[in-house]
Amino acid sequence: MTASAALTVRAAAKINLHLGVGRVREDGYHPLETVYQAVSLHDDVRVTPADAWSVRTTTAGHLGDVALPAPGDNIVDRVRDLLAPDRTARVEVAKAIPVAGGMAGGSADAAAALLALDRLWDLGLTEDRRLDLAARLGSDVPFALVGGTALGTGRGEVVTPLEDRGTWSWVVVPDAGGLSTPAVYRRFDELFPDAPTTPPPTDRLRAALVTGDPRALAGALHNDLEPAALDLRPDLAALLERGVAEGALRGLVSGSGPTCVFLCTDPESAAAVAAGLVGVRSRVLTATGPVSGAHVLQPDRGPRAEED
Ligand code: C5P
């Protein structure tokens, strides 16, 4: 790999199939037992050799009007600070993952930028070193590198791939409102001051994954942050019910929300549920999982403005 060629790295959104949250630790983070799944909504990060450092972000139409970070305050700037603060590149981030939505869009951008700048600048980082740097950028960033379906422990940053025999069909309903992850965790602390120090385990969910049966998975989906997200956004409860009424097996707040996801039996059912929800929310997407973690697109085709 030469240090001069432009390249694009693609990174996926995540859904937490199981998000077990324990009582807040002394460092302010919560211990997690989570099962992540990477799904087919992607952000692309393109890096090009340049004499100055610049980061430009574009958003897919389905994201609507979203607030983006101020120049210099992007997670991509933090990636550069960690890797090589004096080096330069032109970085273009094409976002299709809901912003502040509980699907780790910012973490996907961080993972993609880490891989892309490592390659562009020919830094030769080992996989372990990339994972270590990723954990410093955010709890979900290591998973965005690994992808697939994986167990997350610690504060979510310790990632172990899991056996998953399914190809799962999802409906994804983004929400223009956005929810702050720290605010949702704070509400969790208020609602559950006696939460156990050890979070609820993932055994049931992991057993469902190896059946490959959507009904088994639907029965095992679990999100300890859902009550806190619904407390901050009570209107989401009706959306979750409506998705099931339209034929989904189960609705779930994605991570800290406010994106809601619906597991369906197959892609046809997901398309029907999505069509049924279009009258309820303006933007309704479908996705499948698991998909791979951050990877270089071959051949380089540049970032696209819209989701595939
Ligand atoms: O790790 P990351 O920077 O993505 O976390 C953002 C915020 O989410 C943290 O500052 C914290 O408030 C909350 N968080 C948490 N416990 C976790 C992960 C995140 O409380 N395991």
> Which tokens belong to 146?
């690994």
Using a 6 Å CB cutoff, which residues line ligand 1? Answer: 29-30, 32, 138-140, 155-156, 181-182, 185
Residues annotated as part of the active site:
14, 140
Residue 99 confidence (pLDDT) = 86
Whether the Cβ atoms of residue 31 and residue 197 lie closer than 8 Å to each other = yes
As beta bridge partners, residue 8 has 46
User: What distance in angstroms lies between residue 248's CA and the mean position of ligand 1's atoms?
Assistant: 30
* CA proximity to 168, closest of 216, 224, 119, 103: 216
Pick from 185, 187, 192 the residue to mutate for probing ligand 1's pocket: most ligand atoms within 8 Å of its CB: 185
Whether the Cβ atoms of residue 35 and residue 206 lie closer than 8 Å to each other = yes
Minimum-distance ligand 1 atom for the alpha carbon of 181: 8
DSSP state of 249: S
User: What distance in angstroms lies between residue 61's CA and the mean position of ligand 1's atoms?
Assistant: 28
CA triple 121-126-129, angle to 5 deg: 95
Q: Give dist(CA 306, CA 308) in Å, integer.
A: 6
If you write DSSP's letter for every residue of 254-281 in order, what string do you get?
-TTSS-EEEEESSHHHHHHHHHHHTTTS
Pick from 181, 198, 224 the residue to mutate for probing ligand 1's pocket: most ligand atoms within 8 Å of its CB: 181
User: What distance in angstroms lies between residue 49's CA and the mean position of ligand 1's atoms?
Assistant: 33
* Residue of the CA atom closest to atom 9 of ligand 1: 182
* Residue of the CA atom closest to atom 10 of ligand 1: 182
Residue 308 confidence (pLDDT) = 40
Cis omega before residue 200 (within 30°)?
no
Residue 303 confidence (pLDDT) = 57
* Residue of the CA atom closest to atom 7 of ligand 1: 182
Q: Give dist(CA 50, CA 60) in Å, integer.
A: 25
The amino acid at 82? L
Contacts of residues 153-157 at CB distance under 8 Å and 24 or more positions apart, as own/partner, are 153/31, 153/32, 153/33, 153/34, 154/31, 154/32, 155/25, 155/29, 155/30, 155/31, 155/32, 156/32, 156/34
Residue 234 vs residues 36, 226, 239, 271, 293: alpha-carbon distances, Å: 25, 11, 10, 26, 33
Pick from 29, 33, 79, 198 the residue to mutate for probing ligand 1's pocket: most ligand atoms within 8 Å of its CB: 29
Q: What is the pLDDT along the chain (308 residues), one digit of tens a residue?
A: 444 599 999 999 999 999 999 999 999 999 999 999 999 999 999 999 999 999 999 998 878 777 787 777 799 999 999 999 999 999 999 999 998 789 999 999 999 999 999 999 999 999 999 999 999 999 999 999 999 999 999 999 999 999 999 999 999 999 988 899 999 999 999 999 999 999 999 999 999 999 999 999 999 999 999 999 999 999 999 999 999 999 999 999 999 999 999 999 999 999 999 999 998 998 999 999 999 999 999 877 665 544 44
Residue 181 vs residues 13, 56, 99, 159, 258: alpha-carbon distances, Å: 16, 24, 12, 20, 10
Cis omega before residue 71 (within 30°)?
no
* Residue of the CA atom closest to atom 15 of ligand 1: 29
CA triple 17-21-27, angle to 5 deg: 130
User: What distance in angstroms lies between residue 30's CA and the mean position of ligand 1's atoms?
Assistant: 7
User: What distance in angstroms lies between residue 38's CA and the mean position of ligand 1's atoms?
Assistant: 19
E strands within 22-116?
A: 32-48, 54-59, 90-95
Residue 49 confidence (pLDDT) = 98
Cis omega before residue 214 (within 30°)?
no
